[in-house]
Amino acid sequence: MSLPSGQRVVVSELGDEPLDAIEHHAALVAMPAPDPATLGERDVLIAVASAAVGWVDLLMTSGQYQHPPKPPYTPGLEYAGTVVWKGAAAAGVALGDRVLVDGLLAGPRSLGDYQAYGGFASYGVAPVEAVHRVPEGLDFDQACSLLGSYETAYHCLVTRGRVRAGEVVLIHGASGATGLAAVHLAKRLGATVIATGRSAEKLAVVQREGADHVVPTGDGRWRDAVKALTGGRGVDVVYDGVGGEVSLESLRCVRFGARYLIVGWAATPFVAKGKGQRGAPNANQLPTNLIMMRGLDVLGCPTVISTVNDPSLRPPRLAYVLGWAAEGTLRPHVSHRFALADFKDAMLAKWRGEVTGGCVLRP
Ligand SMILES: NC(=O)c1ccc[n+]([C@@H]2O[C@H](COP(=O)([O-])OP(=O)(O)OC[C@H]3O[C@@H](n4cnc5c(N)ncnc54)[C@H](OP(=O)(O)O)[C@@H]3O)[C@@H](O)[C@H]2O)c1
């Protein structure tokens, strides 16, 4: 078997921050097709069709994500494509299968041998247990945008948030990859969704994707709008992937005893120092007086770290996400698509917040 050679993105050193890394330390280089003779009998070789450009991919380039890859490395936590070779013991997949790769078991977010194969490349290699058939009805762009975002939404809303039908969930950063997944999932759970964001255009998409109400955060004081939508009571659950001022305002429109889910801090990404240095000198802070007087449950929701601590969380979560995608209720929305050669434009579009839902590269 002879496969054509391809290309891959390489980050040669970590930047001070993602913009520095994208501009100065990331480049497209030639990639010979991996030689099957060098691969293991449980390995699967995939011709990458589509790779998600995620927020975590950006933060990794400066080591400002909790799991820093060692440069040089190829970004791309999640990808999907076609099986072009498989080892003799790789059961359950066949040549030509359309598959997506589990970013916890292969690629730069994984630990071990498969960390070298990121999705910003023509080819990826993954162990067979990391490979899933693309659920019926999803294209490659949607398939590579599925697990990370929807598993996060599931961990936050279901495992941590215990969201029930009829509850009101306030979702910040709802136009983002995980935010829009949370909108889809909260609706699947039977909740009423109030979504916030800075852009009227993106909020219109979020509403089309299922949010019951949208509230612009433009003037900084939006608590009254949320209170009005809940008859003055406040929301039952907050899904906060934004942080900063948005978190502070949220604490003024929650009901007594609400669950407050800390998902991320897109508005204040430089919590850690750049170039992979440890520490959190710019950490977000929440006022303990409001948390106490409102009897809030504040819940940290790190999906991967929780799963490492308790691996039993994963199988049911994966089954629900893949099952609901196959049944057609969870359909990732992808607003931006780029050729691999335009990876810098793709990363910049994501960084500048131009994307709604998913952003993908198509090697
Ligand atoms: N808990 C977990 O396990 C987990 C897993 C994955 C990601 N995360 C974290 O969750 C957060 C969101 O991730 P994501 O993948 O959904 O990111 P994303 O796709 O970039 O979306 C973030 C959203 O936040 C909103 N936002 C508000 N203020 C912002 C600001 N000043 N700068 C940039 N965006 C701002 C934007 O919406 P508007 O433009 O509409 O305002 C944007 O769409 C990140 O902090 C990420 O690290 C957590």
199 Cβ inside 6 Å of ligand 1: yes
Report pLDDT for 270. 82
> Same domain for 158 and 301?
yes
Query: Which of 17, 55, 282 is the best mutation target for the ligand 1 pocket, counting ligand atoms within 8 Å of the beta carbon and taking the most?
Result: 55
Residue 316 lies in a domain: no
226 and 130 housed in the same domain: no
The total domain count for the chain is 2
Q: Which domain holds residue 61?
A: 6-146+332-362
Query: Does some domain include residue 345?
Result: yes
| pLDDT for 271 | 80
Does residue 242 have its Cβ closer than 6 Å to ligand 1? yes
Amino acid at 199: S
Instruction: Give the Cα separation of 254 and 123 in Å (integer).
Output: 47
Last residue of a domain, which of 261, 291, 306?
A: 306
Whether 128 and 172 map to the same domain: the answer is: no
Q: Which residue, of 262, 288, 306, is where some domain finishes?
A: 306
CB atoms closer than 10 angstroms to residue 323 = 12
Residues 183 and 230 in one domain: yes
Among protein residues, the one with the nearest Cα to ligand 1's atom 18 is 176
Take atom 12 of ligand 1 and give the residue whose Cα is closest.
241
Residue 164 lies in a domain: yes
User: Considering only CA atoms, which residue is closest to atom 28 of ligand 1?
Assistant: 267
Residue 240 alpha carbon to ligand 1 centre in Å: 9
Report CA(286)–ligand 1 centroid distance (Å): 18
Q: Is residue 326 part of a domain?
A: no
Domain shared by 139 and 175, yes or no:
no
356: left (phi over 0), alpha (psi -120 to 50) or beta: beta
- The CA 101 to ligand 1 mean position distance, Å, reads 22
Based on the fold, state whether residues 101 and 219 are members of the same structural domain: no
Same domain, 60 and 205: no
344 and 200 co-located in one domain: no
Out of 146, 198, 305, 313, mutate this one to test ligand 1's pocket (max ligand atoms within 8 Å of CB): namely: 198
Q: What are phi and psi of 64, to 5 degrees?
A: -95, 15
Atom of ligand 1 nearest to the CA of 266: 45
The alpha carbon of 50 and the centre of ligand 1 are apart by a number of angstroms equal to 21
Q: What are the start-end ranges of the E strands in the chain?
A: 6-11, 26-31, 43-52, 79-86, 98-101, 123-127, 131-133, 168-171, 192-197, 213-216, 235-240, 254-262, 297-300, 334-339, 358-362
Residues 177 and 136 reside in one and the same domain? no
**Other CB atoms within 10 Å distance of the CB of residue 71:** 17
Residue 298, strand partner residues: 260
Tokens of 208: 């089309």
All residues at 6 or more sequence positions from 346 whose CB lies less than 8 Å from its CB, including other chains? 53, 336, 338, 359, 360, 361
pTM of the entire predicted model: 0.96
Burial tier of 219 (Cβ tally within 10 Å: 0-12, 13-18, 19+)? exposed
* CA gap 141, 359 in Å, rounded: 8
Domain contains 247: yes
At 354 the pLDDT is 96
**Angle (CA) 16 122 91, round 5°:** 115
Tens place of pLDDT for every residue, the chain, 363 residues?
689 999 999 999 999 999 999 999 999 999 999 999 999 999 999 999 999 999 999 999 999 888 878 999 999 999 999 999 999 999 999 999 999 999 999 999 998 889 999 999 999 999 999 999 999 999 999 999 999 999 999 999 999 999 999 999 999 999 999 999 999 999 999 999 999 999 999 999 999 999 999 999 988 899 999 999 999 999 999 999 999 999 999 999 999 999 999 999 999 878 888 888 878 888 889 999 999 999 999 999 999 999 999 999 999 999 999 999 999 989 999 999 999 999 999 999 999 999 999 999 999
- Statement to judge: residues 297 and 336 lie in one domain: no
Distance CA 249, CA 253 (A): 7
Closest ligand 1 atom to Cα of 262 = 1
Task: Identify whether 318 is part of a domain.
Answer: no
CATH of the domain at 236: 3.90.180.10
155 belongs to a structural domain = yes
| In-domain check, residue 35 | yes
Amino acid identity of residue 140, one-letter, is F
Residues 166 and 172: their CA atoms lie apart, in Å, by: 19
What is the pLDDT, as a whole number, of residue 273? 83
219 and 131 within one domain: no
User: What is the DSSP-derived secondary structure letter of residue 118?
Assistant: -
| Cβ of 243 less than 6 Å from ligand 1 | no
Say which residues have a Cβ less than 8 Å from residue 319's Cβ, sequence separation at least 6: none
Same domain? 62 vs 28: yes
Instruction: Write the DSSP string, 139-184.
Output: -HHHHTTTHHHHHHHHIIIIIIT---TT-EEEETTTTSHHHHHHHH
